[in-house]
Amino acid sequence: MTAQPAQQIPGVYHRKIGDIVVTAISDGYLDGSMDVMRNVDLEQAHRILKDAFRPARRTNVNAFLIHSKGRIAIVDTGSGNYLQPSAGFVQRNLAAAGIDPASIDTVLLTHMHPDHSAGLTDMSNGERLFPNAELVMHENEPAHWFDDGAMAKADERSRKLYFLAGREQVTPYKNRTRLFRQGEVFPGVTAVPSLGHTPGHTAYLVASGNDQLMIWGDTVHVPEVQTALPEAGMAFDTDLAAAAASRKRMFDRVSTDGMLVAGMHLHFPAFSRLARRGDAYALHPEAWVHTLDAV
């Protein structure tokens, strides 16, 4: 008798953007309560999820490789061994994609939260998991997370999970860190500061020829709810109002331009388009294709 499958295929998916190839890498998922949502009626939020056949808040965690001009960057690094056991699979899926982490020369961080930066470093020994990479992020990120005054004002959970852990994750790269305000940060990749979720939260616009992709970071955490209700934010937004304003600007930009988007918390493999629906929006995941030239 043939054995039934016991595990999924690797979480790897490629998408061409002109001459650039972007590879979605799944880190897994994180389960949590809807109680962390803000500026939203929770009964309405639960109803939206239920109507989308998603009865609970399950947050996908994604990273993205960018293959451009003979170089490889990774946007975010997943959660390493720092969070739930259902996440932390970036390294495993890089291996499945045939990528040696030592071949990645640039890590582009959207921001320093543990589901994005904890995969930078092996927290058990402090070794870099991307040994040859330059760490690139908005200048506001280390300025905030290394600010002892800001840390003193935070609650105990935030001090441990964001400030102290973030410092541990990025410090091994201190001699190979490059900070930016905006502009091109990697061949074909332009930083698009989208501040609010954190002080330096940044999206990345990938462009080649006539093709564009906006990797919008944490513009949303609960896609079904926040596209329907753009005011809805999260307890871990550093500035709730600024995060909502950035989300609305991003929604307007990508929907007006019909731009392809990807996000760290869109359902894998994440490539989607956003359509305006009155004062709300709807995400339309792109159909899976089996060859890169078919896109």
Question: 22: which strand partners?
Answer: 15, 66
CB atoms within 10 A of CB 66: 26
**String of b and e for 89-106 (b: at least 16 CB within 10 Å)?**
bbbbbbeebebebeebeb
Q: Pick the closest to residue 264 from 114, 137, 142 (CA basis).
A: 114
Q: Does residue 144 carry a pLDDT above 90?
A: yes
Q: Kindly state the average pLDDT of the residues 143-147.
A: 98
C-alpha–C-alpha distance, residues 90 and 108, integer Å: 15
CB atoms within 10 A of CB 119: 31
Calculate the average pLDDT of the chain: 95
CATH of segment(s) 12-294: 3.60.15.10
Q: Tell me the range of 31-35, 51-55, 177-181 where mean pLDDT is highest.
A: 177-181
> What does each C-alpha distance from 47 to 41, 232, 281 come to in angstroms?
10, 14, 16
The whole-number pLDDT of residue 294 equals: 60
- Residue 81 pLDDT more than 90? no
Q: What is the percentage of the chain residues whose pLDDT exceeds 70?
A: 99
Q: What is the pLDDT of residues 220-279, one digit of tens each?
A: 999 999 999 999 999 999 999 999 999 999 999 999 999 999 999 999 999 999 999 999
How far apart, in whole angstroms, are the C-alpha atoms of residue 96 and residue 8?
Answer: 12
Is pLDDT at 287 greater than 80 in this prediction? Answer: yes
pLDDT at position 198, please? Answer: 98
Q: Are 118 and 112 in contact (CB under 8 A)?
A: no
User: What tokens does 123 get?
Assistant: 């927290």
Q: What is the pLDDT of residue 295?
A: 60
Instruction: Determine the Cα–Cα distance for residues 281 and 187; give it in Å rounded to an integer.
Output: 31
Domain chopping of the chain, boundaries: 12-294
Residues 6+ apart with CB under 8 A from 198: 111, 112, 113, 140, 141, 144, 238
How far apart are the C-alpha atoms of 227 and 57, rounded to whole Å?
15
Distance (Å, rounded) from C-alpha 28 to C-alpha 24? 12
- N-to-C CA span, the chain: 39
Q: Where are the alpha helices (DSSP H) in the chain?
A: 42-51, 90-96, 114-117, 140-145, 148-153, 156-158, 165-170, 223-228, 240-257
Q: With a cut of 90, say whether residue 292 has pLDDT above it.
A: no
Encoded tokens for 116: 């994005």
The answer to whether 73 and 134 have CB atoms below 8 angstroms apart is no
Of residues 19, 15, 137, the one with CA closest to residue 70: 19
Cα 103 from Cα 88, distance rounded (Å): 20
pLDDT, mean of residues 35-60 = 94
Q: In this structure, is the dihedral angle defined by the CA atoms of residues 128, 131, 137 and 139, taken in order, positive or negative?
A: positive
